[in-house]
Structure 1
Amino acid sequence: MLASWNTTSTNPIKFTFYKESPGTWYIDLPDYPGPKGNLAMVAGTDDMLDFLAKGKNRVVVKMSEQPFAGALALDRVKVGEPGGGAYYKPLNHAIQSVWLCDVTLFALGKFPEHIYFQALE
């Protein structure tokens, strides 16, 4: 596990995402023990990354369980759908739904109830 989130922590963590041809987004997790395909961002997460990256093929995203100035927000809606993962509803964005796969458990240790995030670069 890379990071362990704590709902009282005020220290955001950062993740880098990159886009490969023909347009698939991946999270950069060099210590992830599974296949690269598991790191692909799909089902709304790719649309959110396109929005955050503003035309670039790489974006660093700051995330926290606590709100912070300028952050967008995701609220967890469902966990454990077929195929695992969790569904989130963006609170302040036009994208209707974002699915986060079980790699989230490797990266964050859980499916947080709320995720606040902002593109840094």
Structure 2
Amino acid sequence: MKKTFRFYKTDKGSWYIDLPEWTDGIEALQMVEGADTMLDTVSNQSDEVYLELSDEPFEGADVLHLTENLQDSITGGIYMMPFYKGTEINHPMWLCGVTEFVFKGLPPLIYVGYPV
């Protein structure tokens, strides 16, 4: 599965994924615990960014590595983003249960691309 997703930052500085097919509360769509600061980086400090996400490799993608599976406790998992566009950043983040919804499970690797 490879799909482009829109992420947006509210006036209060909170990041969310734009996921129209999500039927539960919007609070679950908020990016927190490192995902928010990663979005600040990849958005170049703007209030919107589009990312291509996939559970299969594709050219030019950075890779998020699952380092801790939290499906049996708080949902989702802790991922590490070692590099951003060739620069080492070693950025950890928690990706919540929405990740499981999007990927139909919790992939060991998530590939991230930056469409133009």
TM above 0.5, one fold?
yes
| Residue correspondences, number | 111
Q: Which residue does the alignment assign to 1:90?
A: 81
User: What are the superposed Cα offsets for residues 30-72 of structure 1, whole Å, 9 maximum, x if unpaired?
Assistant: 1211111110000111111111111221111011222223211
Aligned 8 A contact 1:48 1:95 in 2:
no
Gaps of at least 5 residues in structure 1 are 6-11
Q: Which residue does the alignment assign to 1:9?
A: none
Give SS of 1:97's match: strand
Q: 1:51-66 residue pairs with structure 2 within 5 A?
A: 51-66=41-56
Displacement after TM superposition at 1:95 (Å):
4.3
Counterpart Cα distance in 2 of 1:63 and 1:32? 17
Aligned 8 A contact 2:64 2:80 in 1:
yes
Give SS of 1:96's match: strand
Matching residue within 18, 22, 28 for 2:18: 28
Q: Which residue does the alignment assign to 1:8?
A: none
Gaps of at least 5 residues in structure 2 are none
**TM-score, normalised relative to structure 1:** 0.82
Q: Cα RMSD over matched residues?
A: 1.6
Name the structure where strand makes up a greater proportion of residues.
2
Q: Which residue does the alignment assign to 1:116?
A: 111
Counterpart Cα distance in 2 of 1:49 and 1:120? 14
Counterpart Cα distance in 2 of 1:69 and 1:24? 30
